[in-house]
Structure 1
């Protein structure tokens, strides 16, 4: 992770932090744009040319990062800022030039209570092994929830924890547990390689920052099968969709056997969205928790698109109704979430 910021980039990072933006976008031909409370807002700065963005990108990207952009289309770079914020900088190409997207992380790990995570999640975290999935749309706070779950384990259990991330966004201070944090491209070659390495080092809990391919799904299932608790992040539009994505990541001829294994080792799925707070800044997470029991397992094996949640689950429908009664988040956000995600 870098600890120094080139002058041209610092100007825009400072602008975003002053506006309390969650994201910064530098795209050729556009004004620098900020995402504030979930909405993209153009800044008052002049539009940036491709040459200007190229200069910024080349000032922060290593030769290795530039090679990844050529090979994979994107490279991720972590920058630790003076106030403790971590900027996750993603560089790709647009209109023949580089484009830059930045997501800001406070560096502070929030507690489960601060995140508003339902009590059902704590019950899931007491499982000795298996898979727990944290899912939601892009930018819904999944990483924040993942870290809060790890922090609860770290504070309450004497275990060996390993995180495998594209880029670490917070440094976890060991408490009761021993904690190792690994980055893809720095410490391990891939998510799957990081999981497989962890299996040889007496880990108890493995956090996987992204599961999106056959190799990673297989490695997660192998880890769960050998007695590890595996906490993973998935981009999904519902709890059922998250499970579907796990099975869809493998070749079709293997899906039946993978459904059997997912059904056996999946403990629960957390799905979350963000809604703007009423009368104040910021956003709050609204959670759904699908606890997996025998009924849910049967649905997974059968390949049903909509799964029946197990006993102790928390539905998004009920949580939206609760937030609506409490009037703590904006009514129009509740309406749009209900229309998009509640079937």
Structure 2
């Protein structure tokens, strides 16, 4: 219980903020924002709402909160860099936190994450009988590169955590993760898992990747391939017999290839295409679409499994998305899945509205054909328990 909220002398403590965050999560919030001179706000089912009966917070109060959360040394780094990412645990929940500056004062963005990683079955996938075996097939590969892509807030970290959790439950593997920050904490089950956080355990993705091969990993999780050095190191690790899993911010599977190639300096693009064609095994792109019943969001996946024609498109520098999609559309029997198919299935099953789906389709004509030709599926329960509704 938070006391004295109506008092002008109220100065929020970490315990007060923890109570605010926990109450917001219990209401179903996917994000909570604190910024100076404004009351806290939370995102419920894709819409922002003020948290009622809470006062605005001053710059000084936010500064003290951040200092308490991360300590003096990291706070000094935050003031210098103007950005910080970290994990915060409250008695009931855990949060990924971004600290930044706006209008000269701090801003905190909290995203709740479950304290325990989800199982693949918790994702409540559309066409689960088709999709789940493909995710298991990819994560059980002995070597290669797997990419999870999507926009900010599309649930990439949740899918990554579920895949790692699957290995941890079933296989004896040595897994090293490099994260910024650590979100889901994995306890050793069958696997051995070392989780390294940027800032506290290593200085950066590229540096951690340079040393990771001496740690004899079977699987390497790279939180994000965000710069040329990290991209090269991750692909090299995949070339040398490791399974590497990472994320890229793109909204379709073929576009992730262009994003990686375009990130490289001039003169290195041909080599990276060759390496990427040889190592890339699959790309999973996802979106979270508001459910028609207002109860959370539904995940929709696009899965591109890399075969010889896709490899030839990569090495040839082909950037025409339609050529990738034409090949993918012919291979649905092997688990390859287009986003337009998943959106059509969601509309058929009345899980999402037609308007929500149509705003996210990649190829409208193909989406329409799916709506017309896919066999009607059994409708799901209206309020499934899944990883996207709330932690």
Q: State if a TM-score over 0.5 links the two structures.
A: yes
Q: Is the 8 A contact 1:87 1:102 kept in 2?
A: yes
Matches of 2:96 and 2:108, distance apart in 1: 10
2:87 alignment partner in structure 1: 78
Which of the residues 93, 97, 115 maps onto 2:101? 93
SS at 1:252's partner residue?
A: coil
Determine which structure has more spread, i.e. the larger CA radius of gyration. 2
In the TM superposition, 1:236-315 aligns within 5 A as 236-279=250-293, 281-305=295-319, 306=321, 308=324, 309-310=327-328, 311=331, 312=334, 313-315=336-338
Give the deviation of 1:43 after TM superposition: 2.1
Q: Is the 8 A contact 2:45 2:294 kept in 1?
A: no
Q: Give the aligned CA root-mean-square deviation in angstroms.
A: 2.1
Matches of 1:160 and 1:324, distance apart in 2: 41
1:51 alignment partner in structure 2: 60
Q: Is the 8 A contact 1:120 1:314 kept in 2?
A: no
SS at 1:181's partner residue?
A: strand
2:37 alignment partner in structure 1: 29
2:135 alignment partner in structure 1: 121
Which of the residues 354, 358, 365 maps onto 1:331? 354
Unaligned runs of 5+ in 2: 1-12, 368-391
Q: Is the 8 A contact 1:275 1:330 kept in 2?
A: no
TM-score under structure 2 normalisation? 0.81
Alignment: residue pair count: 338
SS at 1:172's partner residue?
A: coil
Unaligned runs of 5+ in 1: none
Q: Is the 8 A contact 2:86 2:182 kept in 1?
A: no
2:200 alignment partner in structure 1: 186
Matches of 1:56 and 1:340, distance apart in 2: 47
Matches of 2:186 and 2:363, distance apart in 1: 34
1:147 alignment partner in structure 2: 161
Q: Deviations over 1:221-244 (max 9, x none)?
A: 111011000010111121122222
Task: Decide whether aligned partners of structure 1 residues 88 and 229 sit closer, same or farther in structure 2, where only a CA change above 3 A counts.
Answer: same
TM-score under structure 1 normalisation? 0.92
Matches of 1:142 and 1:173, distance apart in 2: 20
Q: Is the 8 A contact 2:24 2:32 kept in 1?
A: yes
- Correspondence 1:40 to 2:54: no
Q: Is the 8 A contact 2:69 2:88 kept in 1?
A: no
